[in-house]
Amino acid sequence: MNMKRISMAVCLFVAACGGEDNEPAAEPLAYEDMSFAERVVFMNDVVMPEMKEIFVAFDPKFETMACTTCHGNGAIDGTYAMPSPQIAPLPPSEEAFLEYIKDPEHMRWAQFMGEQVWPRMADLLQVEKYDPTTAPNGFSCSNCHTHTAE
């Protein structure tokens, strides 16, 4: 089971997966071409402010959002490795995920993630969003979240 397919399960209930043009704007240097040091600067100057804005709009507790919010211990040991085991792990299959979001609180979060966090982050990184046919290696929930065991 490809865990990235959870991103597709989200498409059953969010509007962000339609045919609209998500082509990232042309920018001088794309994340993928940056050195590690350039990525640190980009995260600090671009990703943090942009993502904090949407997280705070969802829940004011994110006023204290920091690198650790996404990177967990990776922001402390300096690796910034993703996905982060400190972000709540998601269920391991599409079926389990559909079960998981029957909890309205999980649904509320999954909707925020699917409509805002996932597409915004992919745009900022200038990478394609995961799609099983057109972008099987694309950016998905699983670039940030680990998954629980089956």
Two tokens, residue 143: 């670039």
The residue within the footprint of ligand HEC, chosen from 17, 91, 94, 117 (CB under 6 A), is: 117
Two tokens, residue 126: 């200038």
Two tokens, residue 56: 């705070």
Q: At what angle do helices 48-58 and 118-125 cross, to 10 degrees?
A: 170
The residue within the footprint of ligand HEC, chosen from 4, 51, 94, 147 (CB under 6 A), is: 51
Distance CA 135, CA 150 (A): 25
How many residues touch ligand HEC under the rule CB under 6 A: the total is 32
Is residue 39 a contact residue for ligand HEC (CB under 6 A)?
yes
Residue 142 C-beta: closest distance to ligand HEC, Å: 8
Is residue 5 a contact residue for ligand HEC (CB under 6 A)?
no
Residue among 35 and 133 whose Cβ is closer to ligand HEC: 35
Distance CA 4, CA 138 (A): 9
67, 75 in Cβ contact below 8 A? yes
The residue within the footprint of ligand HEC, chosen from 8, 13, 24, 80 (CB under 6 A), is: 80
Residue 113 C-beta: closest distance to ligand HEC, Å: 3
11 closest CA partner among 120, 136, 141: 141
Q: Which residues are at the interface with ligand HEC (CB under 6 A)?
A: 6-7, 10, 36, 39-40, 43-44, 47-48, 51, 67, 69-71, 80, 82, 87-88, 90, 106, 109-110, 113-114, 117-118, 121, 141, 143-145
